[in-house]
């Protein structure tokens, strides 16, 4: 895979240079009827150096390298398309941070050329691998080992991988001894042994592994011992001992690193850019009604850990005391309190809430690492303690956010707490960096229209 990553990095670097040449070469610029770029290429060397290692990382986050080499073209084109968009956006951000000027069409050409060159490489590789000589060298030969009821299922699943695997023989551990496996290894000269061991006893499985160790043949253990509903299984190393990890929250990945970077950069940019609005909102809050400018409340963060969340105060100073008197008017099912026309909200507070300006101080929580830009909305600690379904606590398995699927699905128009939780769990189960970007994009018109706010 490292060779593919290095080659893709070179293709992205070549695309950047070609895009620059298309706009800086007088004859090409005249032929394409485009204005000439006069900046020397030396000005972009730093950006060029950053671009080369970043492209394979982005491709990996999009699952480009996790697919079989001879998989369908759709499994290749869609991750590549997303990666080219992200890298192009990264170039735009890099130009802004490095204070460099580049014609926008250079970035567009770069994205198109990088996509075209990588697709060409993949098609040439596909053509080469489908040749008779390459298929003989590339295809891996295995013996499948397990119990009878699992062998057919496992074989069918392996057949979906494509032409990369070939099962030469299969051995039922309940019908044949391990010594028969050794004979098959000698007969077929296989690359490895695949063991499906869900219902098999561990003693014969251990014997299979030891026999393969002596023969110098690698073993693939299908370790789906337990049936899980939503957890994903991964393998880790603990003090030199292999360990199965069952995880229902998004796992640590380059996409998670990109999400964290986006949180810090965008939160800092928004705080600086919206500083005049923050000052005006704070002054209006302080001058319009007695009480503090900011409202501080203990909310449940990642894994339920309490943190102090900040908002502009939008209610009267004794709002928490009045909440008990209004409890019978609660419009939200479950432990959450929501009231469309809450009498505790001040006149300035109504405006701040309508356009979500009251939530902007939470950008500080994002910079402190207590929240993310996108994630389930953090609930007060006392409301989390009143969850009547323990499955609802899974929404605490990720960092809470400023916006989420609930926010762009009507906000306060969603009155059923279970529907709220369903949207949060849908976000967790299908999370990707791409999904975060889509939610952020869709949040902007929702906030500007004040849709679903109270």
**Exposed, middle or buried, 136 (CB in 10 Å: 0-12/13-18/19+)?**
exposed
d(CA 389, CA 391): 5
d(CA 204, CA 173): 7
Number of H helices, E strands in the chain: 17, 10
Mean pLDDT within 137-165: 74
Provide the pairing of β-strand 218-222 with 192-196.
parallel
Q: What φ, ψ does residue 242 adopt, rounded to 5°? A: -65, 140
Q: pLDDT at position 454, please?
A: 52
Three-state DSSP class for 146? strand
Residue 165's DSSP bridge partners are 140
d(CA 362, CA 358): 9
Q: pLDDT tier at 116 (50, 70, 90 boundaries)?
A: very high
Query: What domains sit in the chain, N to C, each tagged with a CATH number?
Result: 2-129 (no CATH), 139-225 (3.40.50.280), 254-449 (no CATH)
Q: pLDDT tier at 13 (50, 70, 90 boundaries)?
A: confident
d(CA 50, CA 268): 22
pLDDT: which is higher, 375 or 154: 375
Number of other residues whose CB lies within 10 A of the CB of residue 321? 10
Q: Are 266 and 373 in contact (CB under 8 A)?
A: yes
The 10s digit of each residue's pLDDT in 40-95 is 667 777 777 777 778 888 888 788 887 766 667 788 888 889 888 988 888 888 77
Query: Using CA of residue 267, residue 270, residue 276, residue 280, what is the dihedral sign?
Result: negative
Q: Does the structure show a pLDDT above 70 at 163?
A: no
DSSP string, 109-132: HHHHHHHHHHHHHHHHHHHHHTSH
d(CA 420, CA 379): 12
Q: pLDDT tier at 6 (50, 70, 90 boundaries)?
A: confident
Number of other residues whose CB lies within 10 A of the CB of residue 92? 12
Distance set, CA 52 to CA 6, 236, 276, 314 (Å): 9, 30, 38, 48
Go through 254-272 and write b for each residue having 16 or more CB atoms within 10 A of its CB, e for each that does not: ebeebbeebbeeebeebbe
d(CA 310, CA 366): 11
Q: Are 95 and 116 in contact (CB under 8 A)?
A: no
Q: What φ, ψ does residue 340 adopt, rounded to 5°? A: -60, -50
Least confident of 3-12, 66-75, 76-85, 366-375: 66-75
The 10s digit of each residue's pLDDT in 174-209 is 888 888 888 888 888 888 888 887 665 778 888 888
Distance set, CA 349 to CA 108, 229, 354, 356, 362 (Å): 43, 44, 8, 10, 16
Query: Using CA of residue 301, residue 305, residue 306, residue 308, what is the dihedral sign?
Result: negative
Q: pLDDT tier at 307 (50, 70, 90 boundaries)?
A: very high
d(CA 145, CA 209): 11
Three-state DSSP class for 225? coil
Mean pLDDT within 361-375: 94
The 10s digit of each residue's pLDDT in 219-249 is 888 877 777 767 777 777 777 777 777 777 7
- Count of residues making up the chain: 454
Q: Does the structure show a pLDDT above 60 at 342?
A: yes
> Taking the CA of residue 108 as centre, how many other CA atoms within 13 Å lie in the half-sphere pointing to its CB?
4
pLDDT: which is higher, 267 or 250: 267
């Amino acid at each position: 895979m490292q060779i593919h990553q290095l080659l893709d990095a070179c293709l992205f670097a070549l695309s950047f240079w070609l895009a620059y040449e298309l706009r800086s070469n007088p004859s090409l610029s005249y032929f394409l009827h485009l204005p000439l770029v006069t900046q020397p290429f030396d000005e972009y060397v730093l950006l060029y150096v950053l671009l080369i290692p970043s492209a394979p990382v982005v491709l990996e986050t999009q699952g480009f390298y996790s697919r079989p080499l001879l998989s369908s073209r759709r499994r290749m084109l869609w991750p590549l398309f997303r990666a080219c968009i992200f890298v192009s956006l990264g170039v735009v951000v890099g130009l802004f941070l490095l204070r460099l000027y580049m014609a926008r069409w250079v970035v567009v050409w770069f994205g198109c050329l990088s996509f075209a060159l990588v697709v060409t490489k993949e098609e040439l590789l596909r053509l080469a691998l489908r040749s008779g000589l390459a298929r003989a060298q590339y295809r891996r030969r295995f013996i499948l080992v397990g119990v009878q009821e699992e062998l057919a299922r496992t074989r069918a699943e392996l057949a979906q991988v494509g032409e990369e695997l070939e099962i030469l023989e299969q051995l039922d551990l309940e019908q044949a001894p391990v010594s028969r496996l050794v004979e098959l290894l000698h007969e077929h000269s296989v690359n490895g042994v695949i063991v499906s061991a869900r219902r098999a006893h561990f003693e014969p499985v251990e014997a299979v592994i030891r026999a393969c160790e002596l023969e110098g043949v690698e073993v693939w253990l299908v370790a789906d011992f337990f049936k899980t509903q939503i957890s994903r299984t991964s393998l880790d190393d603990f003090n030199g001992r292999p360990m199965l990890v069952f995880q229902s929250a998004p796992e640590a990945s380059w996409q998670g690193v990109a999400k964290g970077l986006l949180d810090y950069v965008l939160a800092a940019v928004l705080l600086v850019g919206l500083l005049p609005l923050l000052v005006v909102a704070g002054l209006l809050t302080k001058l319009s009604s007695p009480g503090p400018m900011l409202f501080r409340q203990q909310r449940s963060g990642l894994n339920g850990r309490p943190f102090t969340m900040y908002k502009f105060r939008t209610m009267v100073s004794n709002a928490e005391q009045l909440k008990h008197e209004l409890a019978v008017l609660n419009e939200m099912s479950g432990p959450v309190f929501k009231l469309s026309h809450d009498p505790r909200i001040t006149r300035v507070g109504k405006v701040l809430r309508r356009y979500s300006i009251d939530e902007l101080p939470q950008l500080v929580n994002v910079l402190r690492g207590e929240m993310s830009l996108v994630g389930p909305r953090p609930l007060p600690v006392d409301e989390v303690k009143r969850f009547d379904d323990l499955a609802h606590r899974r929404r605490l398995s990720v960092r809470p956010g400023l916006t989420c699927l609930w926010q762009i699905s009507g906000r306060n128009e969603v009155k059923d707490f279970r529907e709220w939780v369903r949207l949060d769990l849908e976000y967790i189960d299908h999370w990707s960096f791409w999904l975060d970007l889509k939610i952020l994009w869709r949040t902007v018109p929702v906030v500007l229209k004040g849709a679903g706010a109270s």
